[in-house]
Structure 1
C-alpha cells in the first residue's frame, strides 16, 4: 500500500471527543438514501469509476475450506483483475491495474505472499480470533505477530464487541493499542462488526476509540454478522473519521465490507466517500472495499460498456 501521508499514531484516550455524541438515525438514513439517488455517473465516467473501484478492492477469501490452490487462483485474479481484451478496448493495457490487496486467513498468508511476488499488491490477514474476537488477548496478539512474520503487510483485527456494549472504553482502547504495537510496520484495520453494536451512537464511539488507539483504517464488518456494511452505518463512521481528523490532524482510512456484491454497490460507496470526504479518499491508501464477487460484476459491467452486451456471469469467474 503506497501512502502519501503519515500513519495514524493515535492519541491518548479522550472520551470527551465522543461520549456525549448524539446521532439522529432517521437523518442519517435519509442522507445515505438520497446520496445514491441524487448522484449518478454514466457512460465513460462510470467505466472510469469502476476501474478505480477495482484498485480499491481487498480481494478476499475467508472460508473454512480455503486451500493453497484457491488462494493462488485468487492472487492470479488480483494481479490481472480485468480480461486482456477489455483492457485493450479501454486503452489500459499499460496501466498495471491490480486490486488493492488480497485478504486471507493467517495460515494462508505464505501462499498469498508467494503468489504475489514481483507485484506491489499487499497481503492482508485477518487476526485476533476472527470473526468473534473472543479468544484470550495473548492468543490474539500472537496471531497478529504470526501473520506479520509470514509476510502480511496489513492486519484486519476484530474488536471485542462486549467492551462497546458495556462502554468499557479504556479496555477497548488498551487492547487496540497492544494490537497496533504487535502489528509493527503492518497497517492495522480495526473491524467494528457494526451489526453487533446495536446503535449508531455506539458505532461512532467505537470508531473514535479505534482511531485514538492508532488504527490506520476503520472497517465496518467481518462479513459474518447478520447485518454487514450499510450506507447509514458507513456515513456515521465517515463522520467520526472526519471529526477525528479535525481534532487530531491525522488521516485514517475506511473499509466497508460484507454483503457488497455488485458494481452498483461499489458506485454507491464511492459516491458516499466523495460526497463526505472528497476525492483524496477515493485512493487505495485510504479506501478499500472488502469483497470477492463484486469484482466479477464490475468486470461484467466493463465488458458491457465495451461491447454493448452483457456476458454470462460465468465468463467472469474469480478463480
Structure 2
C-alpha cells in the first residue's frame, strides 16, 4: 500500500514544514488582469469525478491519506466540553485500531481539530502531547460583521488560548464592491494578529457572486500573507464546489509561480462522502502536485466525512459495510 504519512510529533504543524508565505505588496495590476472562463471551468470540473478510478488497495491508501488531512470540526451552538473531548478522542483514534493494524497504519491521526474560541482550552488539553493542532474559527465567524477591533482581538485571544491555526472570515462586501485595498489591509491585520499561528482565509465563495471574484479574492488574501485559502464557513447555502476549487487552486499555482511560496487550500462544507474526498485529492494531485497532498498544504473542513471513510475502510478489510451509527464522530 503506497502512502506516506509522517509520524513525528510536529509533522502536522505547518510552520514546522514549509516556509510561511510572507505576503507581498498589493499588485492591483495583477488582480485587475484576472479573467475566469466560467463555461470552461465548469466543463473541466464536470469531468473530474470520472477521470480517475481508484480501486482496491490504492483506494484504501488514498482514503487513509484523506484522514490525515481532515480538520475534524464541530461548530454548533450546542457544543459542549464533552462533545469536544469525544471529537478529540476521535482525532487521536480516527479508525478502530484493529483496522489500522491490518492496513499497516497504526498511529494515524486527523490533521487538526477545529472549534469555536470557547472550546480551545478543552481541545488543547485533550490533545496534549499528540502533535495534533487546534484550529479556531474567528473574526465574528461565520458572518464576519462584528466591529473590526473585536475581530482582531478575538484572534489574539484565540492564539493566547492555544490555537495553532486561526480560520478567519473576510468581509464579503470588499470583494463585491471591488475594494481590493480594504480586503488586503483587513487580511494583513488578521495575519499580524495571528503571530506564529497560521491563518486560513475563509472566502465564503458562495457569497462572492462570480468565479472571477473568487480568483481575485484568493490572490489578494495570499498577497496579504494568508497561509491557507478556504472555500467556506460551512454555513452558506453553497459551500465547496469543484468549479470554485479549480479556480482557487489555480490562483495558488499562479501565486507560487510568481513568488515561490506555497499556500495551502481547504475546501469546507458539503464534503461528506469518501468518493468526494478522492475527487478532491485527485484534483490537487493533477493541478498542484504531490507536495500539496500533505497536512501543511491541504485540509478538508469536515465532520461526517470521517465516518464514511471509516465505513469504506472497514468494507475493505472485512468485505462488509457497517451501519453508519457505528462510526459516531462526536
TM-score by length of 2: 0.95
- 5 Å matches for 1:196-235? 196-235=207-246
Moved over 2 A (4+): none
The answer for unaligned runs of 5 or more in structure 1 is none
Q: Note if contact 2:18-2:296 (Cα within 8 Å) is conserved in structure 1.
A: no
Paired residue total: 317
TM alignment of 1:235-250, pairs within 5 A: 235-250=246-261
Is 1:183 matched with 2:191? no
Whether the 8 Å CA contact 2:214–2:244 is kept in 1: the answer is: yes
Find 2:158's aligned residue among 135, 142, 147.
Answer: 147
1:91 Cα offset (Å): 2.2
State yes or no: 1:251 paired with 2:262. Answer: yes
| 1:27 maps onto 2:31 in alignment | no
Choose 282-291 or 27-36, whichever is displaced more: 27-36
The RMSD of aligned alpha carbons is: 0.8
1:57 to 55, 67, 70: 70
1:4 offset after TM fit, Å?
A: 2.6
Structure 2 unmatched ranges of 5 or more? 1-12
* Post-superposition offset of 1:7: 0.2
Q: In 1, Cα distance between the equivalents of 2:49 and 2:40?
A: 15
**Post-superposition offset of 1:196:** 0.1
**What secondary structure is seen at the aligned counterpart in 1 of 2:32?**
coil
Per the alignment, residue 105 of structure 2 pairs with 92
Contact 2:239/2:268 (<8 A) preserved = yes
Give the conservation status (yes or no) of the 8 Å contact 1:36–1:271. no
Distance in 2 (CA, whole Å) between partners of 1:16 and 1:49 is 40
Provide, for residues 57-93 of structure 1, a one-character-per-residue CA deviation record: whole Å limited to 9, x for no partner.
Answer: 0000000000111000000000000101211221222
Choose which of 272, 277, 282 in structure 2 pairs with 1:271.
Answer: 282
2: distance between equivalents of 1:23 and 1:118? 45
Per the TM alignment, residue 38 of structure 1 is displaced from its structure 2 partner at its CA by 1.4
